[in-house]
Structure 1
Amino acid sequence: MGDNPELRAFMADLGLTRAALARLVNRELAALGCPGTLTVRTVGTWLSGQSRWPQGRIRTALERALKRTPEQLGFIPPRAARPQAPPEEPVLRRNFLAASAAAFPSALVLRGHAVGHGDVDRLKESLRTLTALDDHRGGHGSLETAALTGAGQALGMVDRTISEGVRRRLYSLAADYTATAGFSCIDDRRLAHAERHFDMALRLAGLGNDHVTALRVFNCLSMVGYQSNRPSVALSAARAAQDSRAARRDPLLSSLAHARAAIAHSTTGDRQAALRCLGHARDALGRTDSRERPTWTDFYGSAELFALSAVVHQHLDDNPESESASHRALAGIPSQFRRNRASATARLALAQLGQGEFEQATGTATGVYALMGSDPLPPRLRTLLGDFHRGLITLAPTSAVAREWTDRVHAQGEDQ
């Protein structure tokens, strides 16, 4: 006798407790026309190795419940029950099965075994890749499509789960993928598409009991309101983020929600409310701990708060404060967040322009193109540079620096 690590690992992957496994087997026993008599204690004897081979109908019910043979679950049949095959047959069969599994891994998953935590973890890794791509290049149609594909894969696994914990994780992951698609649409300035994705993401987050992704959705909806010049929408979504359970539990997320509310207030000219929210954002960020968080939150910290503060001060016509905040943001935003660095650079150029520093502002704005390299500018970033272009030709229409900037814009092929 000995421990049964195969069964133990399989139950852990599926998120099954001993009681949950007993219920599943008893349900299958009832479907077979037998009373469900399996107890938690019996499951314990399987895990400890005290019982190495389940009896008759229980064995059949177990196989039906977990879609695995008893041998795959670590049970050892009595010698009399083992098939008597020619000596070479097991070797040939193992080789055939190994070759088939190597050639068709996705087909095996699709026909499938019950989905467990390992399957969710593997699908989650792909989301990390998409998040990193968004940080580097910004949103675009291909990223949106890939994110929606990931959401579809997560939802396609839901019906093959056994435990409620795995099912909730799949809904949560689908919500995160869908929110990523929506965020890509914000960067791509397709705001109606973004709102549709966020509506779906919010429903999926509810099914997954995922308060953090719900806060992400409210944060993004506030961005949609801001980008579409609907201050009341931006403020309502920011307040929903502030009032969310995730914000109450995590100071970092609370800080982000307060910063988003500050931007919403600043667009309406409510200086006192905007600065008060910025103060709350700084205070909350000071209480942040090192707990594990989703990868989409990696962008946010003191440097990003300075970048958002620059936006607030710009709307409040505090150009010196906006310039100072932009410099502090650029001193701290990590290089992998290239799109965010480019956005902060554009904000810095606008703050310098607002102070009449035309040559310095133009040089700063040119740095946006250098940061993004050969990749096309996301439309949201092009909008910022469009604001800069219109401001420059309004404030200094006949200046040499305005002519040089216009020539550079035309050379870049950007329509301002």
Structure 2
Amino acid sequence: MKGNERLKGFMGEYGLTQAGLADAVNARLLHSGCEGTVSDRTIRNWLSAKTSWPHSRQREALEAVFATTAEALGFRPPLPRLSSDDEPEPPVRRRDFLAATSGAAAAVAVPHVGSACRVGASDVLRLRSGLDALMALDDHRGGHESLKLTALAGAREALEKQKRGATQRIRRRLFSVAADYTATAAWSALDARRTDAAQHLLGRALYLAGMGQDPMAEIRVWNSYAMLAHQRREYREAVDSGLAAQATAMTKRDPLFASLAHARTALGHSTLGDRQAALRSLGCAEEALRRSEPGLPRPSWMDFYGPSELAAITAIVRDRLGDPAAAEAASHRALAGIPRQFRRNRALATTRLALAQLHQRDIDQACATAATAFALMSGHPIPGRLRSLLGDYHRDLITLAPDASVAREWADRYRSEWSRL
């Protein structure tokens, strides 16, 4: 059977591997409330033409990824059975799909070819809805290259539409969308610990946020800058980035954003060993969180933040300040509330719990806890940020208990899991 050359061509044009396309389709399925069940094998069946007409939900998600119809992607629907007195109906033109960025299921509006129509509010809304799909994919498996490339494609799409904006207000909103897509790409690089790429993209995102006059995108960028500074061991800059986040207009409008900014600042102070400043910032974060209103409309990138995430940050601060028992208690609170679909965040909080236990010399329990982080990410590569944290745990383990048998067993497991790309 001849393979599906059209689908193969689209994948090549968009720079997608089989695994990348599976991620993209699954992201769209998750965004629409369906389970993401597409695997590498599913993609192979499509490419070999073993599957000539995908299941309806998978087909719609695939159409959204490439912004075209299934027929244009080389698929053929089964022929209808016609009775002898049936007359063929005139061909029905499929609706034009307003679709996703290249490589993930982000719903980005795509105009008709050759269309000179102006871009309006509905186009902005379609573009923004694509960000939700990307964040759902990030929540599920963490930052990775195909997510970054998809987000950059979304930013390019928004900037191209910005040139045809119907009003100055629409153009500003499209700059804002481009800032969010670029910040998403930067976050993916940050989660993978690709610091040079993250720094470049954050600078671009901050520029676009300014062009869009969007304080919400601005605070997102400063939040990521604070994390980048930690990865680069530039701890004073981490504090400065947290203070910059506190100075944005969003902290005055919504205490939830203020809480996040104070929490990031607390992390910076704790790494510098400034106990008083760290605890003061944590207190401000807790107070702002108490004043925040749940249920207000907020961007999907903020879905991660709330009492559980603040507890996870508190665990880091307390451990760095030399309070491992308090850190362990905070980690348990975090894990009790982090949603199950936030697999990467749960794995990070689990590893932090293991570190707090290790720093109390509870070696057996710490190793058992740390091992569950691998299970949480089963079936997916381990994101760079989590790999780095597990490396920190391993180094502390061999420092504190180099001769313990359970430590040697965990080290063997660690080396085996570490080979996962």
> If the TM-score is normalised by the length of the shorter chain, which range does it land in?
0.7 to 0.9
Structure 1 or 2, whichever has the larger Rg, is 1
What is the CA–CA distance in structure 1 between the aligned matches of 2:123 and 2:97, rounded to whole Å?
Answer: 19
Bigger mean CA deviation after superposition, 289-298 or 346-355: 289-298
Q: 1:103 to 1:257 in 2, by over 3 A?
A: closer
What is the CA–CA distance in structure 2 between the aligned matches of 1:332 and 1:231, rounded to whole Å?
Answer: 29
Give 1:180 deviation, angstroms: 0.4
Asked whether 1:274 is paired with 2:294, we answer no
Asked whether 1:364 is paired with 2:369, we answer yes
Q: 1:407 to 1:211 in 2, by over 3 A?
A: same
Alignment RMSD (CA, Å)? 1.9
What amino acid maps onto 1:377 in structure 2?
Answer: I
Give 1:163 deviation, angstroms: 1.3
> Counterparts of 1:81-160 in structure 2 under 5 Å?
99=93, 102=96, 106=110, 108=112, 111-160=115-164
What is the CA–CA distance in structure 2 between the aligned matches of 1:274 and 1:103, rounded to whole Å?
Answer: 50
* Structure 2: runs of 5 or more not aligned: 1-89, 100-109
Which of 324, 329, 336 aligns to 1:319? It is: 324
Give 1:103 deviation, angstroms: 9.2
Asked whether 1:303 is paired with 2:308, we answer yes
1:216 is aligned to: 220
* Structure 1: runs of 5 or more not aligned: 1-94
Other structure's SS at 1:160 match: coil
> Counterparts of 1:60-99 in structure 2 under 5 Å?
99=93
What amino acid maps onto 2:344 in structure 1?
Answer: R
2:359 is aligned to: 354
What amino acid maps onto 2:402 in structure 1?
Answer: P
- % identical aligned pairs: 51
> Counterparts of 1:195-206 in structure 2 under 5 Å?
195-206=199-210
What amino acid maps onto 2:152 in structure 1?
Answer: L
Could you tell me whether the CA contact under 8 Å between 1:101 and 1:108 is conserved in 2?
Answer: no
Could you tell me whether the CA contact under 8 Å between 2:98 and 2:126 is conserved in 1?
Answer: no
Q: 1:101 to 1:392 in 2, by over 3 A?
A: closer
Q: 1:348 to 1:104 in 2, by over 3 A?
A: closer
2:240 is aligned to: 236
Asked whether 1:260 is paired with 2:254, we answer no
Q: 1:395 to 1:210 in 2, by over 3 A?
A: same
What amino acid maps onto 2:209 in structure 1?
Answer: A
What is the CA–CA distance in structure 1 between the aligned matches of 2:331 and 2:175, rounded to whole Å?
Answer: 38
Give 1:411 deviation, angstroms: 2.4
Bigger mean CA deviation after superposition, 176-185 or 392-401: 392-401
What is the CA–CA distance in structure 2 between the aligned matches of 1:175 and 1:107, rounded to whole Å?
Answer: 21
Other structure's SS at 1:99 match: coil
Q: How many residues align?
A: 321
What is the CA–CA distance in structure 2 between the aligned matches of 1:100 and 1:326, rounded to whole Å?
Answer: 51
Could you tell me whether the CA contact under 8 Å between 2:222 and 2:244 is conserved in 1?
Answer: yes
Could you tell me whether the CA contact under 8 Å between 1:343 and 1:381 is conserved in 2?
Answer: yes
Flag as ranges the 4+ runs of structure 1 deviating above 6 A. Answer: none
Could you tell me whether the CA contact under 8 Å between 1:116 and 1:166 is conserved in 2?
Answer: yes
What is the CA–CA distance in structure 2 between the aligned matches of 1:231 and 1:136, rounded to whole Å?
Answer: 29
Give 1:347 deviation, angstroms: 0.3
Q: 1:109 to 1:321 in 2, by over 3 A?
A: farther
TM-score normalized by the length of structure 1:
0.74
Q: 1:256 to 1:107 in 2, by over 3 A?
A: closer
> Counterparts of 1:327-406 in structure 2 under 5 Å?
327-406=332-411
